[in-house]
């Protein structure tokens, strides 16, 4: 699904949800059931487009895709790599005759072929064009096949593109070297056309499954931004929290995986608010006890929306626990002290700071110095983690947090190149 379609789906869902005057529990349940189907099935077809009438009315319906207790499962192989899907295959071989032979073997499939004689030419193509699969000879000019594999797999943009390595060089050690370098499959010449076609179909099925999982995750990020867009006063809130929390994570020496979870958590921490009516979310009067009870459900609803996405496992504690308090008087679980997950405590600290320093319907924006003083006072009362507040004050005293951005934060990390790419790509993805 194209990025703009994802955004349209999110906007449509948000618009439909905000028409309701009560919490729409069915929404969270719907996402949960959909993601449950995604996780429990071996592969995922492109039927996520069924949302908002975007699916093909003549094609299989969502109910046909997955096996049910009393029926048969949809034949997902044909849906994932079918006649409507043109997959792009990049053939990297210095000899034209070899490239022609491969294309002849695959002529019965619905493929678009790109060709490269050299490694640098192939890498340039992968940077500029969307490639679904690479067929690579072990021996190519400029660098070896294994070295090429490592470059592809170390690039976040191309790391999930499957690679089929071919060679006429006999020996199991070459196969081991190729697989260890990142090749997904390995075939020795002479090639059997039927085997080549079968391997490529299988690799493209796996690629389609990965693409669908990424698409499902992108929908959640788009929904999170739809929540933010409902209030003009919170514009940029998610991006700032993502940046601030990563800055704190770097100062704490957290792993790259934890930093990425913080970045994602910045965008997803309040996704459950899509279930909160506008009259509560954006009201100018103080909330009643009943309205507060509804508002507090956003942490649980947000976790429920995202919990079926395995790639978001480290983000779930952030979503659920970022409103807990150090003294145990927060919500939803009344956790106290270090029982509150560290990533959630980090997100809470920067969330409070950003809320204080930005204008809302009920208050003007506070200056940085005043916001920091309030944070320190709350830590002294036992409301916030005192060590994290002290760290935040130390970081923000040298460079006000409102001026930080992802690229600047990434340069402070030891693994700066990889992290910078990771954060910038994630930022671009959620902003499409």
pLDDT for residue 230 = 65
Please give the Cα distance from 30 to 35 (Å, whole number).
Answer: 9
pLDDT digits (tens, 9 = 90+) for 57-90: 333 333 332 233 333 333 333 444 444 578 999 9
DSSP code, position 47:
G
Q: Which residues pair with 163 in a beta bridge?
A: 134
**Residue 283 pLDDT exceeds 80:** no
Q: How large is the average pLDDT for residues 405-411?
A: 38
**Token pair of 258 as six digits:** 């934890």
Least confident of 74-78, 97-101, 277-281: 74-78
Identify the residue with better confidence: 217 or 243: 243
- The dihedrals phi and psi of 123, each to the nearest 5 degrees, come to -65, -40
Whether residue 379 contacts residue 385, with contact meaning beta carbons closer than 8 Å, is answered with yes
**Residue 217 pLDDT exceeds 80:** no
| pTM assigned to the model | 0.58
pLDDT for residue 21 = 35
pLDDT for residue 32 = 44
**Residue 28 pLDDT exceeds 50:** no
**Residue 101 pLDDT exceeds 70:** yes
pLDDT for residue 120 = 92
Q: What rounded mean pLDDT belongs to the chain?
A: 76
Location of structure tokens 């073997």: 105
Please give the Cα distance from 266 to 397 (Å, whole number).
Answer: 22
**Token pair of 349 as six digits:** 């600290």
**Residue 367 pLDDT exceeds 60:** yes
pLDDT for residue 161 = 94
pLDDT for residue 403 = 46
Question: For the packed helices 145-153 and 172-180, what is the interaxial angle rounded to 10 degrees?
Answer: 20
DSSP code, position 330:
-
**Residue 45 pLDDT exceeds 50:** no
**Domains of the chain with CATH codes:** 87-207 (3.40.50.2300), 230-430 (1.10.3210.10)
Please give the Cα distance from 249 to 258 (Å, whole number).
Answer: 8
pLDDT digits (tens, 9 = 90+) for 417-428: 444 444 444 444
**Residue 55 pLDDT exceeds 60:** no
Whether residue 131 contacts residue 161, with contact meaning beta carbons closer than 8 Å, is answered with yes
Whether residue 321 contacts residue 341, with contact meaning beta carbons closer than 8 Å, is answered with yes
pLDDT for residue 286 = 81
Please give the Cα distance from 71 to 45 (Å, whole number).
Answer: 18
Kindly give, in sequence order, each residue whose CB lies less than 8 Å from that of residue 45, ignoring residues fewer than 6 positions away: 60, 65, 74, 76, 79, 80, 208, 212
CA distances from 369 to 41, 350, 366, 372 (A): 52, 14, 8, 5
pLDDT digits (tens, 9 = 90+) for 34-44: 344 333 333 33
**Token pair of 416 as six digits:** 């700066």
Q: How large is the average pLDDT for residues 112-116?
A: 95
Please give the Cα distance from 270 to 141 (Å, whole number).
Answer: 51
Instruction: Dump the DSSP string for 390-407.
Output: HHHHHHHHHS-GGG--HH
Going by pLDDT thresholds of 50, 70 and 90, the confidence category of residue 388 is very high
pLDDT for residue 310 = 80
**Residue 102 pLDDT exceeds 80:** yes
Please give the Cα distance from 119 to 131 (Å, whole number).
Answer: 15
Least confident of 181-185, 278-282, 383-387, 420-424: 420-424
- In the chain, the largest separation of any two C-alpha atoms, in whole Å, equals 77
Please give the Cα distance from 183 to 162 (Å, whole number).
Answer: 7
Whether residue 55 contacts residue 47, with contact meaning beta carbons closer than 8 Å, is answered with yes
pLDDT for residue 259 = 92
Please give the Cα distance from 166 to 171 (Å, whole number).
Answer: 13
**Residue 112 pLDDT exceeds 90:** yes
pLDDT for residue 235 = 66
Going by pLDDT thresholds of 50, 70 and 90, the confidence category of residue 9 is very low
């Amino acid at each position: 699904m194209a990025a703009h379609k994802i955004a349209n789906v999110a906007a449509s869902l948000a618009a439909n949800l905000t028409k309701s005057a009560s919490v729409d529990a069915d929404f969270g349940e719907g996402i949960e059931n959909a993601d449950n189907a995604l996780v429990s099935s071996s592969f995922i077809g492109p039927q996520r487009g069924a949302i908002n009438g975007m699916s093909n009315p003549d094609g299989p319906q969502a109910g046909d895709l997955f096996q049910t207790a009393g029926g048969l499962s949809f034949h997902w192989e044909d849906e994932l790599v079918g006649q409507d899907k043109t997959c792009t295959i990049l053939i990297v071989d210095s000899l034209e005759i070899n490239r022609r032979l491969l294309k002849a073997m695959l002529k019965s499939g619905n493929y678009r072929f790109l060709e490269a004689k050299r490694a640098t030419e192939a890498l340039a193509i992968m940077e500029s064009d969307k490639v679904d699969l690479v067929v690579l000879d072990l021996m190519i000019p400029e660098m070896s096949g294994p070295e090429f594999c490592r470059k592809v797999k170390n690039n976040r943009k191309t790391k999930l593109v499957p690679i089929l390595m071919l060679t006429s060089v006999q020996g199991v050690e070459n196969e081991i070297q190729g697989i260890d370098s990142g090749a997904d499959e390995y075939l020795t010449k002479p090639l059997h056309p039927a085997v080549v076609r079968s391997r490529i179909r299988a690799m493209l099925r796996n690629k389609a499954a990965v693409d669908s999982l990424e698409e499902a995750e992108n929908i959640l990020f788009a929904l999170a931004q739809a929540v933010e867009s409902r209030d003009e006063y919170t514009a940029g809130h998610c991006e700032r929290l993502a940046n601030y929390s990563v800055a704190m994570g770097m100062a704490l020496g957290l792993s790259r995986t934890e930093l990425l979870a913080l970045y994602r958590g910045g965008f997803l921490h309040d996704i459950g608010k899509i279930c909160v009516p506008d009259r509560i979310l954006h009201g100018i009067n103080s909330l009643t006890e009943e309205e507060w009870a509804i508002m507090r459900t956003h942490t649980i609803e947000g976790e429920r929306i995202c919990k079926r996405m395995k790639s978001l496992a480290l983000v779930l504690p952030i979503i659920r626990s970022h409103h807990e308090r150090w003294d145990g008087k927060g919500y939803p679980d009344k956790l106290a002290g270090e029982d509150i997950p560290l990533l959630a405590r980090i997100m809470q600290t920067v969330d409070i700071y950003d809320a204080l320093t930005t204008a809302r319907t009920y208050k003007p924006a506070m200056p940085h110095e005043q916001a920091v003083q309030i944070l320190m006072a709350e830590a002294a009362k036992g409301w916030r983690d005192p060590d994290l507040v002290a760290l935040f004050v130390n970081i923000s005293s040298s460079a006000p947090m409102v001026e930080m951005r992802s690229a600047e934060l990434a340069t402070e990390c030891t693994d700066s190149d990889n992290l910078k790419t990771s954060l910038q790509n994630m930022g671009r993805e959620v902003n499409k």
